[in-house]
Chain A
C-alpha cells in the first residue's frame, strides 16, 4: 500500500511517500504564507519526482502546525505522534526523541512498542528553536549550513546566558564587538540551546537510544553540544527534516 504524509511546519513543508515499509520519496519546500498551497505543492512535487499519480496513493495523513489546512488529507495527527512514528519506523529501538523544528522544540518519550508515553514542548518562546538559530546566523553573517562545522572548531565556547532570542541576539552582537571569535560564539549558542532542550528531556526522562529529528538535527554542532550536555550518544535521523512527514505516511497505513 502506498501512503503519503504531509508535514506543514512554520518554516518548511515536507511530504513523504511510503510503500510497504519503504520510503519512496521525500521533499522539503518553504511553507511561505499560504500553508494550504504549500501542502498541495509539496505533495504534487513529491509525486512527480517519484513518477507516481495521486490515484496510486491509498491514504494521506497531515501533521504539523498547518495540519488542518491540508484539506485533502484523510486524517490529521499532531507532530508529536508523527515524529514518534517516523523515528520508530527508522529505528524501532528508539525510546527518546528530540525534535527541534522551526518554531518549537520537543522531547518525546516512547515505550518499547513505539507508542508515545510523554512529551514536553518549549513554551511561548523561540529560544532553542530553528528560528533562534536563523536569527543568530543573521547576526553573525554566517550561512546557517556552516554553523555546525564552525562550532566544532571551538575550544572555549562563549557563554550565552539570555533565555530570550531578542536578548540573546544583543548578547551575541556585544560578543562580536568584544572580538570574540565566531566559532566560540556559535558553540556558545549551541550550548545554550542544548541546555534548554536538556531540561525538557529531563522532564520526560532520558532512555537510550536517543534520536534527534527536525531540521535542526542537520546541525552537527547542536548534536555535539547535546551529547556533551546529556552524556549520551544521539542518533541523527537520516531524514531529519522529513521525519514528521514519514511518520505521517506510516500512520496513514494504519488508518
Chain B
C-alpha cells in the first residue's frame, strides 16, 4: 500500500474496519485466534479513520497504560513471528542487509526495519505508529531498533529503562523504574492530548492480572499425562496475552481455552498421539520451522510439554499486586525472565523440569537473540548437574530461515531421542 495515496488508504481502511465489525458481530462466542488477530490488525489498520492512536511497543513493555487510554498497541515482535512463520523472514532480512544492517542483528529488528520501508510481509506491513514505546527488559537491541523507527516515522519515542536484576530487585531500582512509570503516563497523555484515566487503568490492571492467571492455568494443564497441548500450541495461543493483555477479549479467550484443555485432560486426550517422552523447550520458537519441528518430535512420540518462552508472559505475576497495579507493575516488568541472572534463569528451568516432569531439555541457541541464548551453556550444565536429564542444543534463528540446516538438526534430534529412549528402556 502506498502511503502517499490517502484515497487508497481510506478505502482500504473502511473496508478492513467493515470486515472487523462484521467479524466482531459474528463472534457471539469463542472466536478463534485467527479471527481475533484479523479483527485486531484490521482495527489497527483503520485507526486513522476511527481516530484512535497506535503505539508500537516491545514485547516485554507495559501495555496496560496504553490499553487504558484506548491506544492500539502494535507489537513488531509479534509481527516478526508472523513474518517468520510465513517463511518471509529471509527475504526481509536480506532487504535489511541491503540497507546496511548487519546479519548479526536480531532478525525481528531486521525484518521490521525492512518491512516498514516496503510494507511487505504477510499483512502488508504494520499500521503507522503515532508513538513508540520501548522497554529494554528483553534486550538492548530494542533501543537502537526503536530509535531507528522513531526517526523513520518521525514520531515520539518513550524508553522505559529497567535495570538488569542479577540477583534481586533493590530499592534504588524500584524507585528508578517507578518514577519512569509516571513519565510514561505523562508521555501517553501528551500524545493522546487528554488527561490520563487512572480508574480505567485500575480496571485494565485487573484484567491483565486475570489474563495472566488464566494463561498460566492454560500452560499448567500440560503437566497432565498425556499433555493436552504442547509448546507448539502455546506458541500459537500466546499471541493474545502478548498483544491484548489487559482486555476482556484476552480474558474470554483464555477462559474458553482453559475449559477446552481441562476437558481434554479429563478425557485423557493428548496432543501427541501415544505420548511417551516429555520435553522442555528453551528460547523463542524457530518460527519458520514450528510445524516441521512439531512433526519431527511427534514422530518420536515426544511432546514438548512446556517452554520458557510462552511462560514469560505470566512468569513475573508473583510480583503483581492487582490492587496496586501501577506500583507493582514496575517490579513485575523489571523482573521478567530475560532480565534476570543466569542462576535465576536456571532455577526457573529446574522448576519447570520438575513441574512438567520432563525427560529432556531442548535449547534453541538463537542466533538473533543474544540475551536469551547467552547463558544457555551454563543452564545446560546446571540442569545436567542437578537433574541429570539429556540436553540438546539446536543452532538456528527465530525468523531467518537461512540459519536453519535441516539435515544437521534432524540428526541431532534423532540422536537426542535415541539417548532418551535408551534411558527410558534401562529405567523400565
Interface residues of B in 375-411 (CB under 8 A from A): 377, 380-381, 384, 390-391, 393, 395, 403, 405, 407-408, 411
A77: which of B377, B403, B405, B418 is its contact (CB, 8 Å)? B418
Which A residues from 175 to 198 make CB contacts under 8 A with B? none
The B-contacting residues of A in range 14-49, CB under 8 angstroms, are none
Which of chain A's residues 59-80 have a Cβ closer than 8 Å to chain B?
A: 65, 77-80
Binary B-proximity of A108-125 (CB < 8 A = 1, otherwise 0): 000000011111110110
B375 CB to nearest chain A CB (Å):
14
A152 to B: closest C-beta gap in Å: 33
Known: A104-B408, A203-B377. A119 touches B415 (CB 8 A): yes
The A141-180 residues at the B interface (CB cut-off 8 A) are none
- A78-B414, A124-B395 known; A65+B407 contact, CB < 8 A: yes
Please, which residues of chain A bring their CB within 8 A of the CB of B393? 120
| A117 to B423 Cα, complex, angstroms | 9
Q: CA–CA, A81 to B408, complex, Å?
A: 15
| CB contact under 8 A between A79 and B419, given known A124-B403, A203-B377 | no
Question: Across the interface, which residues of A come within 8 angstroms of B405, CB to CB?
Answer: 124
Q: How would you classify the secondary structure of chain B's contact residues: helix, strand, loop or mixed?
A: helix
Given the interface contacts A65-B407, A115-B426, does A78 sit within 8 Å of B418 by beta carbon?
yes
Known contacts A118-B390, A118-B419, A123-B395: does B411 contact A78 (CB below 8 Å)? yes
Out of A104, A115, A120, A121, name the residue touching B422 (CB < 8 Å).
A115
- Interface residue tally on B, bucketed by range: 20 to 34
Query: Is A79 touching B422 in the complex (CB atoms < 8 A)?
Result: no
A121, B418: Cβ atoms closer than 8 Å? no
Min CB gap B130→A, angstroms: 41
Chain A 197-208 per-residue mask, 1 if CB under 8 angstroms from chain B, else 0: 000000100000
Overall SS of chain A's interface: mixed
Interfacial chain B residues near A81, Cβ < 8 Å: 415, 418
**In the complex with contacts A124-B395, A203-B377, A116-B411 CB distance below 8 A:** no
Are A80 and B418 closer than 8 Å at their CB atoms? yes
Asked if B412 is an interface residue, CB under 8 A from chain A, the answer is yes
Q: How far is the CA of A117 from the CA of B422 in the complex (A)?
A: 10
Which chain B residue has the least Cβ–Cβ distance from A116? B419
In the assembly, what is the distance between CA of A81 and CA of B423, in Å?
13
Complexed CA–CA distance, A124 and B390 (Å): 21
With contact pairs A116-B422, A123-B395 given, residues A78 and B377 touching in the complex (Cβ less than 8 Å): no
Q: Kindly state the separation between the CA atoms of A104 and B405 in the bound complex, as whole angstroms.
A: 13
CB nearest neighbor in B for A64: B411
B237 to chain A, nearest CB (A): 31
Residues of B close to A120: CB separation below 8 A: 393
Who on chain B is nearest to A78 by CB? B415
21 A/B residue pairs, CB under 8 Å, sorted by A: A65-B411, A78-B414, A78-B415, A79-B411, A79-B415, A80-B415, A115-B422, A116-B415, A116-B418, A118-B390, A118-B391, A118-B419, A119-B419, A121-B408, A121-B412, A123-B365, A123-B395, A124-B395, A124-B403, A124-B408, A203-B381
Q: Which 6 A-B pairs have the closest CB atoms?
A: A80-B415, A78-B415, A78-B414, A123-B395, A81-B418, A116-B419
Known: A78-B411, A78-B414. 15 other contacts (CB 8 A): A65-B407, A78-B418, A80-B411, A80-B415, A80-B418, A81-B415, A116-B419, A116-B422, A117-B419, A118-B391, A119-B415, A120-B393, A123-B395, A124-B395, A203-B381
